[in-house]
Structure 1
Amino acid sequence: MPDEQRVPKPASTQGYAEQAEALIPQYEAIPFVKRHEAELHLLPTAPSRILDIGAGTGVDAAWFAEQAHSVLAVEPTAEFLTAAMRLHPSPLIEWLDDTLPGLERVLSRGQRFDVVMLSAVWMHLDETERSAGMPKLASLLAPGGLILLSLRHGPIPAGRRMFEVSGEETIELARQHGLEVVLNTLTGSLQPGNLAADVTWTRLAFRRGG
């Protein structure tokens, strides 16, 4: 593991360790450009600093590294983190065991990032955790930096901890911390099981002023 001592497993990751064997190939099957088609036009083209929170199997971190960006990939589920390091080795990716809403290890580094990504993460946090997490996300952005955030809507998979979080609530919370919404769109799911269950996604992007 990338850390000698792991952080305590948060409630937000409930069910993922137990289901990791089945989920890893599902996550790897969908390419970055397909999963994030709605946000592609917002991403920096010059080499930038990326923070991928809830990096999962590392498929997003790997894409950023392929574009010559440097990535800090944060994942609290050991099974995903181990798979990510095996599947996507890159000198441009640093792996870290940490979690929202605290992000203590990330914050202790004193770094600022051009892009902070939370793909399928935010709806695992309860209202108190979301309120605590948003100002920390804002503090991690470089001037002009971008937060990319997706929210899942639909039936909650068995064994998972998930909340119905609206785009409107998230936009207002971000606004309170100096973040301006620059993308707000609803898309369908790409995974066959989610598609059959009518799962949809709100895809949001926020910009911090310079």
Structure 2
Amino acid sequence: MNDSTRSCPSICRIWTSSIGRKMLVALTGIVLTLFLAGHLAGNLLVFVGREAFNDYAEFLHHMLHGAGVWIARILLLATLVIHVAATISLTRENRAARNAYEHKAVIQAKKSSLIMIWSGLTILAFIIFHLLHFTVRVSYNDVDFVDPLDPERFDAWRMVIVGFTNPLVVLFYIIAMSLLCSHLSHGVQSMFQTLGLRSKKTAGLLDKLSLGYAWLIWLGFVSIPVAILIFKFGR
């Protein structure tokens, strides 16, 4: 261990190690994966009805006297930044380590990297749009959502219904969720491998579990805008 490594804080040593960064990707991936499941469970309450969904939305915004939702947002944002930064760093490192004679592999890697870049940018654009659409509510400036069951609270259920009446919004949502779940199906497998839980005996089961989880998340999230747009749910 040299002097620079010895003087480097623990978090710095984790980041300068490829194994450390892989662990960061895996651990942050677990947090984001579990968040998706919890977020989906809450969103599916839209099918239960206005009262149940608005109760859920009110609980989130009043948790810990209103601070809970902001704490969760900050932690999720930090988790996402670490996950993306560590993934990009590992990708660059792996690309630099490839030998020049591996021509075919390099071409394939470039194609994969290009797909990942565009899918990543699409997902990032979706996250920004999703926050602007349903959190900041920039497109609802002229709409007053008042819960008819309780005039004192915001009608989040109606906001979701109105938000998904635009076919372009629904199309963008489906594309983004498809890209996200494609990443998820491979990401969950990688998490198991990084954490040492993947072996020859468990590989097949874990692959099916990862794919099944990704499909479950995709079907759950996509079912909401499709039901609202095509089947006129809530209208």
> Which protein has the bigger helix share?
2
> Could you state the TM-score of these two structures normalised by the residue count of structure 1?
0.29
Q: TM-score, normalised by structure 2?
A: 0.27
Larger Rg: 2
The structure that is strand-richer by fraction is: 1
User: Which gives a bigger RCO, structure 1 or 2 (Cα 8 Å, sep 6+)?
Assistant: 2
